Chain A
Amino acid sequence: MFSLVQVELYKIFKRPRTYIAFGAVAALIGIIQFGLKLDGKSYLDFMLNDLSSSLEIDGKILNGYLVCYVMLQLLLVHVPLLIALIAADMISGEANMGTLRLLLIKPYSRATLLLAKFIAAIIYTLMLLVWLAILALFGSMLLFGTDDMFLLKTSYVVLLKESDVFWRYIGAFGFAALAMTTVASLGFFLSVFAENSIGPIVATMSVIVFFTILSTLNIPIFNLIKPYLFTTHMIGWKEFFDIKVNASNEAIIGSIQNPEKIIKAALVLFIHTIGFFVATVLVFRKKDILS
């Protein structure tokens, strides 16, 4: 298995298109950091307009921690496409090249090959997330410094002490990795049905966009299915940045407001990931390879 995974990773990272994703992430993060560095004050003034009429807010609000949060909110909608670029190509790309038939006449089962490819896709996903973390978090910390994290949510504000932020990012990135793995597993599953990777890539993104719309629309009939959609839970990483308060409305350092939400979301994502993979194996095992 190890050598199979090695071969798959070798193929992924020898392919120029793999680096598009890393480049795109770097470019996106760079442009946001550049924009905020140049004109972050205006952005802040706009966001704090309401609050600053009754409160004086002192301190380095636009610091690396806040900048990273803003970037994650934007990027974790777009990173799935970059994941799909590789994951949805894993089987269909081989079929397109004609190499799938060569891989399947080797002395290992189809399930073993799929598992090796799946593990390689997950490793790629994790590496992309690590790259994202390095640029978005550490890069922002370097560029903007650090301070407490002042989060403006829709109906309330959360102030996290500087020493209480970093571990939350570890959790958030870990969660994001799981969410992106679910995206990868969906792309991987759809990849089985085509002999050209464009179809599965577009299909993966279409599913995500469609489900995301269902997840965010506040229409009663959709509310029934929302809890079961994996897109509803992909933003579970945000829960790491909400804190509990005690009876005197004092934030409890090191706490999470809704830890059960994180656990539930992680479970849903995990079940989806396993489900997609198992479905892939079941479909692929008996598939006639005509490519």
Chain B
Amino acid sequence: MSSVIQVQGLTKKFGHHFTAVNDLSFSVNKGDVYGFLGQNGAGKSTTIRMLLSLITPTSGSIEIFGMPLQANRAAIMQNIGAVIEKPAMYEYLTAYQNLKIFSALSGVSKTRLQLLHELDVVGLAARAHDLVRTFSQGMKQRLAIAMAMVNDPQLILLDEPTNGLDPQGIADIRNLILQLSRVQGKTVLVSSHLLSEIEQVATRLIIIDKGCKLVEGDSKDLFDTSKSVVAIQTLNNIEATKLLMQTSWASHVLIDRSTDKEICMQLDEKLLPTLHKNLVEMGIGVLSVKPMHSLEDYFLRITSTPSYV
């Protein structure tokens, strides 16, 4: 499967003391709905801004549509649409006028009827000639999506698209994402701090925390109980991890996610008793073995702060 986005070793430091993104690597395949998960402040928006060349990475590489970003920016941006954080538009203009402007800026010539049709697709045809400052949050979000789609992009980046929306609005966004991906064949990267939203649409996802990747993979794998993630706490997690890596259990150890506080392993839950026995035989003092039944448990644990809207 061809990569639409290929990120290697991406790092962003602000000043000398704050690293927003730390050696992040991931890839987004064509046709993916790629969930980009993390708590507030995890580095999601910073990463997305780097993908859109709004922020210059400190180090690392980004390739989009198989082309290095910096050298091919114009060609790449021609095929990208994005909604970045809060929907932004010219509030002293109407929805139609906003769309017209961004259509012109994208180098796309659209007739009045075509633009009105685009507004109709997002359910704003009736309010096309009203000033945006009179719009609700949900309407602004829909207009923002229409503006992002005006150049018929192949890659769409949606940064927290459901923020501030009511349940109906959230459902509308979800359906839109599915429609873009499954019907129109577009690649969508959608970020959120709410796993429950991503769960329902993402084909692949990544979880980041404090700028680092924690887990990446196909949704069906990550949510598959036969591939449960188990968190093991021992008297000395570092030593225990070293020992496990020398055994046949090594392939189950999720070394990226294992810390001095716990060892993360991915395996069928049925193997847990055998694992526990082997650990004891190896002289590893086991304090707890906790399977995580849903990605949500893992997400909440490892990010260790409650998610807020």
Contact = CB atoms under 8 A, between A and B. Distances in A.
Are A and B close enough to touch in the complex, i.e. CB under 8 Å? Answer: yes
A157 interface: no
A160 B97 CA distance: 51
Interface string B105-131: 111000000000000000000000000
B91 A107 contact: no
Interface string B58-91: 0000000000000001110110101011111111
Contact of A98 (B73, B86, B106): B86
A6 interface: yes
A4 interface: yes
B54 A289 contact: yes
A108 B102 CA distance: 13
Given A4-B105, A102-B102, A14 B88 contact: no
Interface of B: 14, 49, 52-56, 73-75, 77-78, 80, 82, 84-93, 97, 101-102, 104-107, 147
Interface in A76-126: 97-99, 101-109
A290 B18 CA distance: 15
Contacts of B73: 107, 109
B52 A105 contact: yes
A15 interface: yes
A288 interface: yes
A153 interface: no
A217 to B, nearest CB: 40
Given A103-B105, A105-B53, A288-B14, 18 more contacts: A3-B104, A3-B107, A7-B101, A10-B101, A99-B90, A101-B49, A101-B52, A101-B84, A101-B88, A102-B102, A105-B54, A107-B74, A107-B75, A107-B78, A107-B106, A109-B73, A288-B54, A290-B49
24 contacts: A3-B104, A7-B105, A11-B90, A11-B93, A14-B93, A97-B90, A101-B54, A102-B82, A102-B88, A105-B54, A105-B82, A106-B77, A106-B105, A107-B73, A107-B74, A107-B75, A107-B77, A109-B73, A288-B49, A288-B55, A289-B54, A289-B55, A290-B49, A290-B55
A4 B107 CA distance: 9
Contacts of A16: 92
Contacts of A103: 105
Contacts of A3: 104-105, 107
A290 B48 CA distance: 11
Interface residues of A, number: 25
Main DSSP-derived SS at the B contact region: loop
A102 B84 contact: yes
Contact of A109 (B14, B74, B92, B106): B74
Contacts of A4: 105
A109 B56 CA distance: 14
A288 B102 CA distance: 22
Contact of A288 (B56, B75, B77, B104): B56
A98 B92 CA distance: 14
A109 B53 CA distance: 11
Nearest to A98: B88
Interface of A: 3-4, 6-7, 10-11, 14-16, 97-99, 101-109, 286, 288-290
B93 A106 contact: no
Contacts of A104: 52-54
A107 B79 CA distance: 9
Given A16-B92, A288-B54, A102 B147 contact: yes
Contacts of A108: 74
A14 B55 contact: no
A286 B84 contact: no
A108 B73 CA distance: 8
Nearest to B148: A102
A8 to B, nearest CB: 10
A278 to B, nearest CB: 20
A7 B93 CA distance: 12
Nearest to A10: B101
A105 B78 CA distance: 9
Contacts of B75: 107
A108 B56 CA distance: 17
Contacts of A15: 92
A249 B54 CA distance: 65
A283 B74 CA distance: 20
A41 B91 CA distance: 50
